[in-house]
Structure 1
Amino acid sequence: MVSSPPSERALVAALDPYERPIEVGVGRRPDVARALADRGREVVAFDVEVSEDARDAAAATRTSSAGSLRVVAADVTALATAGGDRLIRDALGLDASNEDERDASNASTGVDAVYARNLPAELQRPTVALAERLDAACLFTTLGFEEPVVDVRRRSTESGTVVYVAR
Protein backbone atom coordinates (compact mmCIF):
# COMPACT_ATOMS: atom_id res chain seq x y z
CA MET A 1 0.00 0.00 0.00
CA VAL A 2 3.02 2.30 -0.24
CA SER A 3 1.76 4.02 -3.41
CA SER A 4 -1.92 3.92 -2.49
CA PRO A 5 -3.98 7.12 -2.35
CA PRO A 6 -4.33 8.89 1.02
CA SER A 7 -8.02 7.95 1.27
CA GLU A 8 -7.16 4.23 1.03
CA ARG A 9 -4.38 4.53 3.61
CA ALA A 10 -6.71 6.44 5.95
CA LEU A 11 -9.44 3.80 5.66
CA VAL A 12 -7.00 0.92 6.20
CA ALA A 13 -5.59 2.67 9.28
CA ALA A 14 -9.09 3.31 10.67
CA LEU A 15 -10.01 -0.36 10.13
CA ASP A 16 -6.83 -1.74 11.67
CA PRO A 17 -8.46 -2.64 15.05
CA TYR A 18 -11.08 -4.86 13.38
CA GLU A 19 -10.42 -8.55 12.75
CA ARG A 20 -13.36 -9.50 10.53
CA PRO A 21 -14.61 -6.62 8.39
CA ILE A 22 -17.08 -6.61 5.49
CA GLU A 23 -16.56 -4.26 2.56
CA VAL A 24 -19.72 -2.97 0.87
CA GLY A 25 -19.40 -2.31 -2.86
CA VAL A 26 -15.86 -3.53 -3.57
CA GLY A 27 -16.26 -2.84 -7.29
CA ARG A 28 -13.05 -2.94 -9.32
CA ARG A 29 -10.91 -1.51 -6.53
CA PRO A 30 -10.17 -4.19 -3.93
CA ASP A 31 -7.07 -2.41 -2.60
CA VAL A 32 -8.42 -1.69 0.89
CA ALA A 33 -9.73 -5.24 1.30
CA ARG A 34 -6.43 -6.66 0.04
CA ALA A 35 -4.40 -4.44 2.40
CA LEU A 36 -6.52 -5.58 5.35
CA ALA A 37 -6.07 -9.24 4.35
CA ASP A 38 -2.32 -8.62 4.13
CA ARG A 39 -2.53 -7.37 7.74
CA GLY A 40 -4.06 -10.68 8.82
CA ARG A 41 -7.73 -9.74 8.72
CA GLU A 42 -10.52 -12.02 7.47
CA VAL A 43 -12.27 -9.79 4.95
CA VAL A 44 -15.48 -10.47 3.05
CA ALA A 45 -16.01 -8.00 0.21
CA PHE A 46 -19.22 -7.87 -1.75
CA ASP A 47 -20.90 -6.07 -4.58
CA VAL A 48 -23.95 -6.72 -6.71
CA GLU A 49 -21.55 -7.89 -9.40
CA VAL A 50 -18.07 -9.06 -8.42
CA SER A 51 -15.34 -7.80 -10.75
CA GLU A 52 -12.39 -9.78 -12.07
CA ASP A 53 -10.09 -7.40 -10.18
CA ALA A 54 -11.79 -8.36 -6.90
CA ARG A 55 -11.66 -12.07 -7.77
CA ASP A 56 -7.96 -11.78 -8.64
CA ALA A 57 -7.22 -10.00 -5.36
CA ALA A 58 -9.04 -12.73 -3.43
CA ALA A 59 -7.09 -15.45 -5.27
CA ALA A 60 -3.80 -13.67 -4.59
CA THR A 61 -4.48 -13.50 -0.85
CA ARG A 62 -4.82 -17.28 -0.69
CA THR A 63 -1.09 -17.65 -1.27
CA SER A 64 0.44 -14.41 -0.06
CA SER A 65 -1.53 -13.06 2.89
CA ALA A 66 -1.63 -13.71 6.59
CA GLY A 67 -5.39 -13.15 6.43
CA SER A 68 -8.02 -13.85 3.84
CA LEU A 69 -10.18 -12.07 1.30
CA ARG A 70 -13.41 -13.59 0.09
CA VAL A 71 -15.54 -11.87 -2.56
CA VAL A 72 -19.26 -12.48 -2.86
CA ALA A 73 -22.06 -11.22 -5.10
CA ALA A 74 -24.60 -9.63 -2.77
CA ASP A 75 -26.71 -6.49 -2.52
CA VAL A 76 -26.41 -4.36 0.63
CA THR A 77 -30.06 -3.29 0.39
CA ALA A 78 -31.18 -6.94 0.52
CA LEU A 79 -28.73 -7.81 3.30
CA ALA A 80 -29.95 -4.88 5.41
CA THR A 81 -33.63 -5.91 5.36
CA ALA A 82 -35.43 -7.73 8.14
CA GLY A 83 -35.48 -10.96 6.12
CA GLY A 84 -31.81 -10.74 5.24
CA ASP A 85 -30.40 -13.04 7.95
CA ARG A 86 -30.20 -16.02 5.61
CA LEU A 87 -28.66 -13.84 2.88
CA ILE A 88 -26.04 -12.56 5.33
CA ARG A 89 -25.15 -16.06 6.50
CA ASP A 90 -24.89 -17.22 2.86
CA ALA A 91 -22.73 -14.22 1.91
CA LEU A 92 -20.43 -14.92 4.84
CA GLY A 93 -20.30 -18.64 4.09
CA LEU A 94 -21.80 -19.59 7.46
CA ASP A 95 -23.87 -22.68 8.17
CA ALA A 96 -27.36 -21.90 9.48
CA SER A 97 -28.36 -25.47 10.23
CA ASN A 98 -28.56 -24.81 13.96
CA GLU A 99 -31.84 -23.01 14.75
CA ASP A 100 -30.18 -20.95 17.52
CA GLU A 101 -27.52 -19.61 15.15
CA ARG A 102 -29.78 -18.19 12.44
CA ASP A 103 -29.61 -14.60 13.63
CA ALA A 104 -27.16 -12.30 11.89
CA SER A 105 -25.40 -10.68 14.82
CA ASN A 106 -21.79 -10.12 15.75
CA ALA A 107 -21.96 -13.07 18.15
CA SER A 108 -23.05 -15.47 15.40
CA THR A 109 -21.09 -14.03 12.45
CA GLY A 110 -17.94 -12.69 14.08
CA VAL A 111 -18.16 -9.57 11.87
CA ASP A 112 -16.91 -6.56 13.79
CA ALA A 113 -16.96 -3.83 11.11
CA VAL A 114 -18.80 -2.91 7.94
CA TYR A 115 -17.04 -0.41 5.72
CA ALA A 116 -17.17 1.19 2.29
CA ARG A 117 -15.06 3.53 0.27
CA ASN A 118 -16.66 6.25 -1.83
CA LEU A 119 -20.07 5.28 -0.48
CA PRO A 120 -22.83 7.11 -2.36
CA ALA A 121 -25.63 8.72 -0.37
CA GLU A 122 -28.26 6.20 -1.54
CA LEU A 123 -26.31 3.29 -0.03
CA GLN A 124 -25.41 4.90 3.29
CA ARG A 125 -28.65 4.01 5.11
CA PRO A 126 -28.62 0.32 4.07
CA THR A 127 -24.92 0.08 4.93
CA VAL A 128 -25.53 1.45 8.43
CA ALA A 129 -28.58 -0.81 8.77
CA LEU A 130 -26.43 -3.83 7.89
CA ALA A 131 -23.84 -2.80 10.49
CA GLU A 132 -26.62 -2.43 13.07
CA ARG A 133 -27.99 -5.91 12.24
CA LEU A 134 -24.49 -7.33 12.72
CA ASP A 135 -23.82 -5.21 15.84
CA ALA A 136 -20.67 -4.03 14.08
CA ALA A 137 -18.87 -0.73 13.64
CA CYS A 138 -19.61 1.19 10.42
CA LEU A 139 -16.97 3.32 8.72
CA PHE A 140 -16.93 4.86 5.27
CA THR A 141 -15.63 7.55 2.97
CA THR A 142 -17.90 9.39 0.57
CA LEU A 143 -17.56 10.37 -3.05
CA GLY A 144 -16.10 13.65 -1.78
CA PHE A 145 -18.75 16.01 -3.05
CA GLU A 146 -21.53 14.43 -0.97
CA GLU A 147 -22.15 14.90 2.71
CA PRO A 148 -23.28 11.88 4.73
CA VAL A 149 -27.05 11.41 4.96
CA VAL A 150 -26.75 9.40 8.20
CA ASP A 151 -25.57 10.44 11.65
CA VAL A 152 -21.78 10.24 11.79
CA ARG A 153 -18.69 11.29 13.67
CA ARG A 154 -15.97 12.68 11.46
CA ARG A 155 -12.41 11.40 11.80
CA SER A 156 -10.00 13.66 9.93
CA THR A 157 -6.55 12.40 9.02
CA GLU A 158 -3.28 14.21 8.40
CA SER A 159 -3.79 13.73 4.66
CA GLY A 160 -7.08 15.61 4.82
CA THR A 161 -9.16 12.49 4.26
CA VAL A 162 -12.31 12.23 6.34
CA VAL A 163 -13.42 8.80 7.52
CA TYR A 164 -17.01 8.82 8.70
CA VAL A 165 -17.94 6.62 11.66
CA ALA A 166 -21.65 5.84 11.83
CA ARG A 167 -21.48 3.28 14.65
Structure 2
Amino acid sequence: MSDDRRAAVRRKLGRFDRLCEVGVGTRHEVAAGLASDGRAVAATDVVDRDPPEGVAFVRDDVVAAADCREPGAHYRVDCVYALNSPPELHRPLVRVADAVDAACCFTTLGGDPPAVDATPLALPGGDTLYVARDPDDMLVE
Protein backbone atom coordinates (compact mmCIF):
# COMPACT_ATOMS: atom_id res chain seq x y z
CA MET A 1 0.00 0.00 0.00
CA SER A 2 1.51 3.35 -0.98
CA ASP A 3 1.95 6.29 1.37
CA ASP A 4 -0.89 8.13 -0.38
CA ARG A 5 -3.22 5.19 0.06
CA ARG A 6 -2.24 4.75 3.71
CA ALA A 7 -2.83 8.45 4.32
CA ALA A 8 -6.25 8.36 2.67
CA VAL A 9 -7.36 5.30 4.66
CA ARG A 10 -6.00 6.84 7.87
CA ARG A 11 -7.87 10.10 7.23
CA LYS A 12 -11.13 8.27 6.60
CA LEU A 13 -10.76 6.06 9.69
CA GLY A 14 -9.66 9.04 11.77
CA ARG A 15 -13.33 9.99 12.08
CA PHE A 16 -13.62 7.35 14.80
CA ASP A 17 -12.31 7.55 18.37
CA ARG A 18 -11.95 3.79 19.00
CA LEU A 19 -10.90 1.30 16.34
CA CYS A 20 -9.83 -2.31 15.93
CA GLU A 21 -7.68 -3.44 13.01
CA VAL A 22 -8.26 -7.12 12.28
CA GLY A 23 -5.37 -9.11 10.84
CA VAL A 24 -2.78 -6.41 11.42
CA GLY A 25 0.15 -8.47 10.18
CA THR A 26 3.48 -6.68 9.98
CA ARG A 27 2.27 -3.61 8.11
CA HIS A 28 0.73 -1.55 10.86
CA GLU A 29 1.26 1.98 9.52
CA VAL A 30 -2.45 2.84 9.62
CA ALA A 31 -2.94 1.58 13.18
CA ALA A 32 0.23 3.38 14.32
CA GLY A 33 -0.84 6.58 12.61
CA LEU A 34 -4.30 6.49 14.13
CA ALA A 35 -2.80 5.89 17.57
CA SER A 36 -0.41 8.81 17.10
CA ASP A 37 -3.44 10.94 16.17
CA GLY A 38 -4.88 10.20 19.60
CA ARG A 39 -7.26 7.41 18.66
CA ALA A 40 -7.63 4.29 20.83
CA VAL A 41 -6.51 1.44 18.58
CA ALA A 42 -6.51 -2.30 19.16
CA ALA A 43 -5.07 -4.74 16.65
CA THR A 44 -5.63 -8.46 16.27
CA ASP A 45 -3.96 -11.28 14.38
CA VAL A 46 -3.95 -15.06 14.59
CA VAL A 47 -0.24 -15.02 15.49
CA ASP A 48 1.65 -12.89 17.98
CA ARG A 49 2.76 -9.54 16.58
CA ASP A 50 4.81 -6.68 17.94
CA PRO A 51 2.40 -3.76 17.82
CA PRO A 52 3.57 -0.21 17.28
CA GLU A 53 3.60 2.20 20.19
CA GLY A 54 0.12 3.14 21.35
CA VAL A 55 -1.59 0.12 19.75
CA ALA A 56 -2.96 -2.62 22.01
CA PHE A 57 -2.47 -6.10 20.54
CA VAL A 58 -4.69 -9.12 21.14
CA ARG A 59 -3.99 -12.51 19.59
CA ASP A 60 -7.38 -13.51 18.21
CA ASP A 61 -9.06 -15.18 15.27
CA VAL A 62 -11.90 -13.12 13.81
CA VAL A 63 -13.42 -16.28 12.29
CA ALA A 64 -13.78 -17.83 15.76
CA ALA A 65 -14.85 -14.49 17.26
CA ALA A 66 -17.64 -14.22 14.68
CA ASP A 67 -19.22 -17.35 16.15
CA CYS A 68 -19.18 -15.97 19.70
CA ARG A 69 -22.08 -14.18 21.25
CA GLU A 70 -19.62 -11.77 22.86
CA PRO A 71 -16.68 -11.51 20.47
CA GLY A 72 -14.28 -9.81 22.92
CA ALA A 73 -13.65 -6.44 24.53
CA HIS A 74 -11.08 -5.45 21.89
CA TYR A 75 -13.87 -5.45 19.30
CA ARG A 76 -16.09 -3.10 21.32
CA VAL A 77 -15.08 -0.06 19.31
CA ASP A 78 -16.60 2.47 16.94
CA CYS A 79 -15.09 0.86 13.84
CA VAL A 80 -13.73 -2.60 13.04
CA TYR A 81 -11.54 -2.56 9.94
CA ALA A 82 -9.13 -4.72 7.96
CA LEU A 83 -6.58 -3.86 5.30
CA ASN A 84 -5.78 -6.17 2.39
CA SER A 85 -8.43 -8.52 3.69
CA PRO A 86 -8.95 -11.81 1.86
CA PRO A 87 -12.55 -12.66 0.90
CA GLU A 88 -12.86 -15.45 3.48
CA LEU A 89 -12.53 -12.88 6.29
CA HIS A 90 -15.14 -10.41 5.02
CA ARG A 91 -18.18 -12.21 6.47
CA PRO A 92 -16.61 -12.84 9.91
CA LEU A 93 -15.43 -9.23 10.02
CA VAL A 94 -18.97 -7.97 9.40
CA ARG A 95 -20.48 -10.43 11.88
CA VAL A 96 -18.15 -9.23 14.63
CA ALA A 97 -18.88 -5.58 13.83
CA ASP A 98 -22.59 -6.32 13.80
CA ALA A 99 -22.37 -8.02 17.22
CA VAL A 100 -20.85 -4.88 18.76
CA ASP A 101 -22.80 -2.38 16.59
CA ALA A 102 -19.63 -0.93 15.09
CA ALA A 103 -18.91 0.43 11.65
CA CYS A 104 -17.07 -2.03 9.44
CA CYS A 105 -14.85 -1.42 6.46
CA PHE A 106 -11.98 -3.08 4.65
CA THR A 107 -9.70 -3.02 1.66
CA THR A 108 -9.22 -6.14 -0.41
CA LEU A 109 -6.29 -8.02 -1.84
CA GLY A 110 -5.65 -6.76 -5.34
CA GLY A 111 -8.56 -7.52 -7.60
CA ASP A 112 -10.61 -9.52 -5.10
CA PRO A 113 -14.19 -8.28 -4.93
CA PRO A 114 -15.88 -7.94 -1.55
CA ALA A 115 -17.58 -11.14 -0.38
CA VAL A 116 -20.31 -9.14 1.43
CA ASP A 117 -22.61 -6.30 0.49
CA ALA A 118 -20.48 -3.19 0.77
CA THR A 119 -20.38 0.34 -0.57
CA PRO A 120 -17.11 1.06 -2.37
CA LEU A 121 -15.42 4.36 -1.58
CA ALA A 122 -12.72 5.40 -4.03
CA LEU A 123 -10.02 7.12 -1.97
CA PRO A 124 -7.33 9.54 -3.12
CA GLY A 125 -4.23 7.56 -4.05
CA GLY A 126 -6.23 4.87 -5.81
CA ASP A 127 -7.36 2.55 -3.03
CA THR A 128 -10.95 1.45 -2.50
CA LEU A 129 -12.39 1.21 0.99
CA TYR A 130 -15.42 -1.08 1.17
CA VAL A 131 -17.97 -0.03 3.78
CA ALA A 132 -20.06 -2.94 5.00
CA ARG A 133 -21.56 -1.26 8.10
CA ASP A 134 -21.92 2.43 8.82
CA PRO A 135 -24.58 2.76 11.54
CA ASP A 136 -23.75 6.40 12.32
CA ASP A 137 -23.04 7.47 8.73
CA MET A 138 -19.42 8.27 9.53
CA LEU A 139 -17.88 6.79 6.38
CA VAL A 140 -20.39 7.19 3.58
CA GLU A 141 -21.57 10.76 3.19
TM-score (norm 1): 0.74
The number of equivalent residue pairs is 132
Structure number having the greater strand percentage: 2
Superposed CA deviations along residues 57-79 of structure 1, whole A, max 9, x for unmatched, are 1xxx2xxxxxx310110000111
Contact 1:27/1:50 (<8 A) preserved:
no
d(CA) in 1 for partners of 2:48, 2:83: 16
Provide the residue aligned with 1:73 in structure 2.
59
How many angstroms does 1:42 deviate by?
0.5
Local SS of the residue matching 2:72:
helix
Counterpart pick for 1:147 among 113, 116, 119: 113
Moved more, 13-22 or 153-162: 153-162
Provide the residue aligned with 2:34 in structure 1.
36
1:122 is the counterpart of 2:88? yes
How many angstroms does 1:157 deviate by?
1.7
Contact 1:10/1:163 (<8 A) preserved:
no
d(CA) in 1 for partners of 2:124, 2:16: 21
Local SS of the residue matching 1:166:
strand
- Which structure's CA Rg is the greater one? 1
Where does 1:20-99 land on structure 2 (aligned, <5 Å)?
A: 20-52=18-50, 54=51, 57=52, 61=53, 68-81=54-67, 83-85=68-70, 88-89=72-73, 92=74
d(CA) in 2 for partners of 1:117, 1:25: 8
1:10 is the counterpart of 2:8? yes
Structure number having the greater helix percentage: 1
Gaps in structure 1 of 5+ consecutive residues: 62-67, 93-103
Gaps in structure 2 of 5+ consecutive residues: 134-141
Superposed CA deviations along residues 22-81 of structure 1, whole A, max 9, x for unmatched, are 0000011111110000010000000010223x3xx1xxx2xxxxxx31011000011111
Q: Say what the alpha-carbon RMSD is for the aligned residues.
A: 1.5
Provide the residue aligned with 1:64 in structure 2.
none
TM-score (norm 2): 0.87
How many angstroms does 1:5 deviate by?
2.4
d(CA) in 1 for partners of 2:6, 2:78: 19
